[in-house]
Amino acid sequence: EDQVTQSPEALRLQEGESSSLNCSYTVSGLRGLFWYRQDPGKGPEFLFTLYSAGEEKEKERLKATLTKKESFLHITAPKPEDSATYLCAVQADGSGNTGKLIFGQGTTLQVKP
């Protein structure tokens, strides 16, 4: 069964304290891995798509990396405005061309000033 697991569930950082969020996945074949950011009271906001192992994408203080079994979202020198829930999702080859995603439970990040 296709599955996505994120860790930790919650993470508290001091401003400037770099860290990483983990997304482990089990799928029959990976078509794409997606990272989203969700702020309280809002819908998930698309951040990155990764297609194959070894690929990296960057946006401001965020860098996403991908291996054959997991993805990391590295946050460098975070600021309080980076506080949000970060969601990982995968699209499996078995989904055909439906666009169906399998989401993890998310990691809630809190960055204190």
Partner 1 sequence: DARVTQTPRDKVTEMGQEVTMRCQPILGHNTVFWYRQTMMQGLELLAYFRNRAPLDDSGMPKDRFSAEMPDATLATLKIQPSEPRDSAVYFCASGSTSGRTNEQFFGPGTRLTVL
List contacts with partner 1 (CB under 8 A).
31-32, 34, 36, 41-46, 49, 51, 87, 91, 97-101, 103-106
Rounded to an integer, what distance in angstroms lies between the CA atom of residue 7 and that of residue 16? 20
- Shortest reach from residue 81's CB to partner 1, in Å: 19
Q: Which is nearer to partner 1, 32 or 78 (CB)?
A: 32
Q: Which residues pair with 92 in a beta bridge?
A: 30
- Shortest reach from residue 46's CB to partner 1, in Å: 5
Rounded to an integer, what distance in angstroms lies between the CA atom of residue 45 and that of residue 39? 8
- Shortest reach from residue 77's CB to partner 1, in Å: 27
Q: Which is nearer to partner 1, 66 or 78 (CB)?
A: 66
Residue 30 structure tokens: 């990976």
Rounded to an integer, what distance in angstroms lies between the CA atom of residue 20 and that of residue 32? 20
- Shortest reach from residue 36's CB to partner 1, in Å: 8
Distance from CA of residue 61 to its chain's centroid? 14
